[in-house]
Amino acid sequence: MANYYTHITQAGDTLTSIQNNGGTYNVGVSQAIDATTGTFSGAVSGTTGTFSSAVSGTTGTFSGLLTAASFSSNVKSFNIQHPTLEGKRLWHGCLEGPEHAVYIRGTMKDTSVINLPDYWIGLVDLETITVNLTPIGAYQELYVQKIEWGKKVIVKSSASGPVNCYYTVTAMRKDVPPLEIVQDA
């Protein structure tokens, strides 16, 4: 496998025609790159990268670390080695919605408390917490009795029996501005 290294330092610097199937490209960028005007027939794979300005493009795979304060794309996916089929890759799409949110999920068995992560107090808008419950084994009339200020969720059964269910708890993040869902083109 070939390795290629370059660093683009000024507006107008170009990276032209590095072609090698299976190559690794390490690119440092300190000025804006607009890759939408180029033609890309495959993915660009980078194992390292430093981006101090904007990068826009049509396709790419970063197998190393990419850190950005904000990132957007038309779709979001993950692409990993298939865990059970040798020589195959597994692609999954990311769930999307009209908000920046976080969730936890799990199983309740003979308990009535969902303990929320400690960091939720500083991360989520507590007024937006929602809880979904799916009974396990038999019908149960489950309901959320109360949410104790971002620390725990108390679940009850109308039949006063034990609670056995799957749960998902979701809440909007408060550390980022709400999404502007419809924007001018």
The predicted-structure confidence for 79-88, as pLDDT tens digits, reads as follows: 888 889 999 9
Q: CB–CB of 129/170 below 8 Å?
A: yes
Q: Is the full-model pTM beyond 0.75? A: no
pLDDT at residue 54, rounded to an integer: 45
- Give the span between the Cα atoms of 58 and 81, in whole angstroms: 23
Q: Mark out the alpha helices in 6-157 (DSSP H runs).
A: 120-123
Q: How confident is the model at residue 90 (pLDDT cuts 50, 70, 90)?
A: confident
Q: Per the structure block, which two tokens stand in for 133?
A: 């419950």
- Give the span between the Cα atoms of 51 and 65, in whole angstroms: 11
pLDDT at residue 26, rounded to an integer: 44
Of 90-94, 136-140, 162-166, 180-184, the least confident:
90-94
